[in-house]
Structure 1
Amino acid sequence: MKKILLPVSALALLAGCTWVKLDDAGSRVRVAYDGRVGGCERVGEVSVSVKDRVGLYERNGLKVKDELETLARNEAAGMPADTLVAKGEPHNGAQAFDAYRCGAGPRGAARENPPPAPPARGGEAETFPVR
């Protein structure tokens, strides 16, 4: 029994690990979850895949989706694209994305110089951006 428990435990631990790392160029590519890419130029398509099963063990769907997005961002940076839109949900560990060049500049630029807040009116809450 102990001979079986060790390999099964190791397999379960490895299946939960994230092997895909976001590189510097990929960190400048955003994913437009809402699909809004008006004014952007489509530069191509990115198709990526990862293992969604390890043996008989099915990997966590959220981890698989996260790794697919990370791979796509890394790949899109070389096109060059700065925005991705998923063409659909992941299926069997694979997903396709449309790649766009929107000229948004480096990620976070908009957060460094946020637009001025509208004047507060009496009785309303005032919000401030978190840095």
Structure 2
Amino acid sequence: MNAHTVRSLATLAVVSALVAGCTWVKIPDDARALPLLEASEVAQCKRLGSITTNVAWKVAGIERGENKVRVELDNLARERALTMGGNAVVRESIHEGTGDYTAWMCP
């Protein structure tokens, strides 16, 4: 390897490490407090609507951590549910940076 290739690989490694540690989604504390429930827990609740959230699941061709992506999708869904008048969220599915949820108003 020549010096240019080594520098390029080193730069890519540093950028990848920095990106892997980033949290890209910031939400208000009141949205963060909304519970993420299972479908079986919302029988007494009113369905408010569907929510689809998206975050980057790959950066420069490198997959971000599954847990980090899930947390960011969940937080975005919580924030959206709050704007819909909801106080709970049910996760339906997550795939490649897209999450499908349902917003609920529970007693």
Q: TM-score, normalised by structure 2?
A: 0.85
| Higher relative contact order (CA closer than 8 Å, sequence separation 6+) | 2
Q: For residue 118 of structure 1, what is the aligned residue in structure 2?
A: none
CA distance in 2, matches of 1:35, 1:16: 34
Q: Structure 1 or 2: larger strand share?
A: 2
Distance 2:33 2:64 in 1: 28
Matched residues, number: 102
Q: Which runs of 4+ in 1 moved over 3 A?
A: none
Q: Does 1:91 align with 2:95?
A: yes
Higher helix share: 2
Q: Give how far 1:34 is off.
A: 5.8
Determine which of 66, 74, 81 is the counterpart of 1:76.
Answer: 81
Query: Which amino acid counterpart does residue 98 of structure 1 have in structure 2?
Result: T
Unmatched runs of 5 consecutive residues or more in structure 2: 1-5
Structure with max Cα Rg = 1
Contact kept in structure 2, 1:16 and 1:60, CA below 8 Å = no
Secondary structure of 2:95's match? coil
Report the RMSD for the aligned CA atoms in angstroms: 1.5
Q: Which blocks of at least 5 consecutive residues in structure 1 are unaligned?
A: 104-131
Letter in 2 for 1:51: A
Q: Identity of counterpart residues, as a percentage?
A: 31
Match of residue 61, structure 1, among 59, 66, 72: 66
